[in-house]
Amino acid sequence: MVNGGYFRKYLGCFLFAFPLALIFGPLNATETQLIRVRRGDTISYLSFKIYGMYNSKIADLLRRENPQVKDIDLIYAGQQIRFPAPEIMRRTLTEKTWKLTEPEKRMEPKEARPEEKPMPETRVRANQAVITFLEGEVQVKKAGQAQWSPARPNMILYEEDQIKVPAKSRAELILDNQSVLRLAENTLLTIHKLEEETATQKETARMELSLGKLWTRTAKLLNPSSRYEIKTPTAIAGVQGTTYQVQVGGDRSTNIQVFQGMVNVYNPFPAARPALPGKEILPGQPQEVTGPGEVPGPTPVSREEWTKIVLRQFQQVTVTDQDISSPISFDVQKERQNEWVRWNEARDLDFQPPERWR
């Protein structure tokens, strides 16, 4: 005869372990799909294509589902990877036992800012950038660290992290909002801000391209006040739902080419012109309006003479320390003879993720 107290204790442990087994145990064949790895695929890239997202929780689940894979960071073409069905993954990630963890916030000293409880409508969550493709000897420097270290596929980058792509190398990053950045050889990029206000879905992404070439395809931002900006030594490119290329030369000049959509190019060093002696204009003071005159043709203007220009599809502009050229059209077919452009457009065509989960 079984002791009643012992039986109840055993039954309680079993009932507690049973739901955990559903979450952490291997799934049956009807709840998973087999994906054959192609050249250039990584676990994180496939995860974005299947689920529209990737994080450490998804990585842990894929490890459990694929015990035959020694290292999910080193998969190879022809290998078969088992992925839980999207509805199973969604349900698993929303379980209470799978509470998502955010990266540690960099706290300011308490005396620098009084402690306040943020209002729900202004609460923000940290976003991330995932390395979904690597070729060559790419390096990263995490925020607060002095040394560079080798990058690896599926590595997650946060604010103030840097990525450096040397000669004969390239890399791809995908943000939480499914925007894509691809870095050519001899490129240095810093991630300054990645965040989203949870209630308003206002997103802010700011990157700095110090040197090299960057191809970016931005996702459609849900809030019109969202910002996605690439800063260079001589310009700021701000976009929404656009595909374009930015190149920074050794002389700090910036060349921007738009392949789809529109790009706003801003002057990062606006300078107010001083009023002429005795000609100071006060607010509200009437001014003399000059009559019509001949409009000059397109010519470069000085750095101080422009605030913003709009580039449309198949247009480009060059910005230097001294001036900015007028927008001109470029031959897209000629550009597509470049292997880098062809690779990016093929990659863009392949990357068609489902709607991201909120």
- The string of DSSP codes covering 257-306 is EEEES-EEEE-SS--PPPPPTT-PPPTT---PPP---PPP----EEGGG-
Residue type present at position 192: H
Task: Check pLDDT > 80 for residue 285.
Answer: no
With contact defined as beta carbons under 8 Å apart, do 265 and 301 qualify?
Answer: no
pLDDT in tens, 2-47: 444 544 444 444 343 333 333 345 555 568 899 999 999 999 999 9
Average pLDDT over residues 126-134: 93
Please report the pLDDT score of residue 124 as a whole number: 65
How crowded is the C-beta side of 104, counted as CA atoms within 13 Å?
5
Encoded tokens for 29: 């064949």
Q: What mean pLDDT is reported for the chain?
A: 82
pLDDT in tens, 240-273: 789 999 999 999 999 999 999 999 999 988 665 5
How crowded is the C-beta side of 157, counted as CA atoms within 13 Å?
32
Quickly state the pLDDT bin for 70 (edges 50, 70, 90): very high
Token pair 């706003």 is at which residue?
Answer: 264
Domains of the chain with bracketed CATH: 4-98 (3.10.350.10), 123-270+301-350 (2.60.120.1440)
How crowded is the C-beta side of 3, counted as CA atoms within 13 Å?
4
Task: Check pLDDT > 90 for residue 311.
Answer: yes
Geometric angle at alpha carbon 346, from 54 and 62, rounded to 5°: 25
Quickly state the pLDDT bin for 110 (edges 50, 70, 90): very low
Strands 227-231 and 203-217: parallel
